[in-house]
Structure 1
Amino acid sequence: MVMRAAVLNRVGGPLEVEEVPIPQPKAGEVLVRVAACGVCHTDLHVIKGEVAFPTPCVLGHEVSGVVAQVGPGVEGLTPGQRVVASFILPCGGCYYCVRGEEDLCERFFALNRLKGVLYDGTTRLFRRDGTPLWMYSMGGLAEYAVVPATDVFPLPEGLALEEAAILGCALFTALGAVRTAGLEGGEAVAVVAAGGVGLGIVQLARAFGAYPVVAVDVRPEKLAKAKALGASHAFTPEEAQEGVRDLTGGRGADVAFEALGRPETFRLALDLLRDGGRMVPVGIAPQGVEAGVEITRLVRRKLRILGSYGAKPRKDMPLLLRLAQAGAIQVGAEVTERHPLEEADLAYRRLDRGEVVGRALVTMGGGYA
């Protein structure tokens, strides 16, 4: 039995659709028939060689789908269930997972992110000749994906299956950022860069009772999208400092989020803070990129920089699903375009050119309910 998968054969090359054997789950794993996979900047960093990862590989780390098969020892999941998975695949047994810090899972970073394998040290993806294909998270740009059962969550009724894919990274990362910030109701928030993750932060900040919620971006259509999803105000980077101070009595934001991973947006987020404020960077930058920080201001003004990478799957994903089910966040509203698997490369080229306004999906066309 074979499936289609979008394969990156070399850094800088195109994503090419191939037929490869359907992977098989091992103990503690689930085979998911993928409905949709979100198009994320982190995959783009791998394609461009800005984040090191072995090739040939299958990217895609933000998926929704239907359980096709469960491996030995898996309980609570059955074939036919609609599910989502986050991009962090917690091993459940390392030092950090045991402490409840699954966003720092040692085996995820050492094995999956560096070597493209799961937790027995092997990939589940191969070409017909036996050549291994390395997995970025679960390798979701394919019709089927193997996911550790620790990272598979039933999707509540009433949520559209394809759109739910973005719960696995864009909204998952946004929730992790808001929780890292310790955001409280009534606090002033600025969100620098209104892409998929930034739009999620806007929605969640609004849901947590923040005000004002200010979106900052260079593109008018992204600012308009942010306002439609709950931003109270929207500014270009040139307008942002004066605009935020006018809204906060001259002080600045209590919390500023940076969702792009560029030095200039990192510094802008810091500049938007009030004294004693918190800056939460979530954007991934190319390896080796640094952003200068004025040490004296950081010290004297008691600024805090709180890095946030994803969230804690087994704690935060159930909360995120409840928020979505309750309508506190609009999952489908973030999705602005869809592409079939054969257009996966086009989707990432559009993302690279800044043409995706919200979140793009690669859909597998499985006729899901």
Structure 2
Amino acid sequence: MIKGEVAFPTPCVLGHEISGTVDALGPGVEGLRVGERVVASFIMPCGRCYYCLRGEEDLCERFFSYNRLKGVLYDGTTRLFRKDGSPLWMYSMGGLAEYAVVPATDVFPLPEGITLEAAAILGCALFTAYGAVKTAGLEGGESVAVVATGGVGLGIVQIARAFGAYPVVAIDLRPEKLSKAMALGATHAFVPAEAPQAIQDLTDGRGVDVAFEALGRPETFRLALSLLRDGGRMVPVGIAPQGVEAGVEITRLVRRKLRILGSYGAKPRRDMPTLLRLAQTGVVKAGAEVTDRFSLEEADLAYQRLNKGAILGRAVVITGG
């Protein structure tokens, strides 16, 4: 959005993966208390639309039509304004502010033993990764390749291993990111030029059962698809600039029975409690992905560093005391 690659109303406040402490509750909110430590996912289900009622909260109609299209909550209004009263639009809950207003359907108590800092990335990096692994229908013993090991890719590596995948192959251009992926559970790591042959060698010439793509570029999309065995599944997770396409060889897709399964995120009310348990027990190491920390006043610096590829894992912005 900062680079104009994805449409969103401006001026807006970003910040879509947050943790914090409940300061106040709206009328009718149950199951939460003031002072409680909580985490929220970037997908904020309305709980009442066609898709939410079908258990498909990751496709919530109101989330996309109200928040992602208009930058507001589900009563059609924003909660953020300049001093002169002019509105500021909200990307998800607008977490890069000292306070955030979040629908109660998307607020989850944080278990003991998980710090607010470590929990912050549960709302997107690990939440998106968990959704991708669930979308893949990954089973124990299946082979996995993860193309691009930034924050989401590192989460996929961790969760794929937690699901019993082997091997789990990390693919990235940067050696330091490959090292981080190995530290978080990858069994092998290669740069893109080496990956196709290396995966053939690892899988007796077949390819992997599941390939994840976590960057959103045509070349990484095509690479992930090329790594599949016959009958394999490719799960694209990365968001591309609007209008970007990636060519697919139709005959191979048809004859080799390949499947492409898009995944935007997990299902908040079903999946976030499970993800929190995985983090509490140490199966998923949320804090291990956090490599950089910034104050609220340094948020722009954080984005500048992210744009330059200088953030190794995930950066956290601390917005309050």
Aligned counterpart in structure 2 of residue 324 of structure 1, from 279, 286, 295: 279
Q: How does 1:218-297 map to 2 (within 5 A)?
A: 218-297=173-252
Structure-2 separation of matches of 1:364 and 1:177: 29
Aligned residue number for residue 166 of structure 1: 121
Aligned residue number for residue 19 of structure 2: 64
Cα deviations by residue, 1:107-131 (Å, 9 ceiling, x for unpaired): 0000000100000101011112110
Structure-2 separation of matches of 1:353 and 1:306: 30
Q: How does 1:187-198 map to 2 (within 5 A)?
A: 187-198=142-153
Structure-2 separation of matches of 1:132 and 1:252: 51
Specify the SS of the correspondent of 1:190: strand
Structure 1 segments unaligned to the other structure (5+ residues) = 1-45
Aligned residue number for residue 157 of structure 1: 112
Structure-2 separation of matches of 1:205 and 1:311: 14
Cα deviations by residue, 1:22-64 (Å, 9 ceiling, x for unpaired): xxxxxxxxxxxxxxxxxxxxxxxx1111001111110010000
Aligned counterpart in structure 2 of residue 81 of structure 1, from 36, 47, 51: 36
Specify the SS of the correspondent of 1:177: helix
Aligned residue number for residue 75 of structure 2: 120
Aligned counterpart in structure 1 of residue 8 of structure 2, from 37, 46, 53: 53
Aligned counterpart in structure 1 of residue 295 of structure 2, from 340, 343, 347: 340
Contact kept, 8 Å, 2:98 with 2:320, in 1: the verdict is: no
Structure-2 separation of matches of 1:146 and 1:161: 17
Aligned residue number for residue 261 of structure 2: 306
Structure 2 segments unaligned to the other structure (5+ residues) = none
Instruction: After TM superposition, give the deviation of residue 338 of structure 1 in Å.
Output: 0.4
Aligned counterpart in structure 2 of residue 96 of structure 1, from 43, 51, 54: 51
Structure-2 separation of matches of 1:125 and 1:206: 40
Specify the SS of the correspondent of 2:292: strand
> Sequence identity of aligned pairs in percent?
82
Q: Displaced runs of 4+ in structure 1, greater than 3 A?
A: none
Aligned length: 321
Instruction: After TM superposition, give the deviation of residue 313 of structure 1 in Å.
Output: 0.3
Cα deviations by residue, 1:295-338 (Å, 9 ceiling, x for unpaired): 01101110000000111000000010011111101011000000
Name the Cα RMSD after superposition. 0.5
Contact kept, 8 Å, 2:150 with 2:312, in 1: the verdict is: yes
Which letter maps to 1:274?
A: R
Specify the SS of the correspondent of 2:239: coil
Instruction: After TM superposition, give the deviation of residue 279 of structure 1 in Å.
Output: 0.1
Instruction: After TM superposition, give the deviation of residue 365 of structure 1 in Å.
Output: 4.2
Specify the SS of the correspondent of 2:33: coil
Structure-1 separation of matches of 2:148 and 2:203: 20
- TM-score, normalisation: structure 2: 0.99
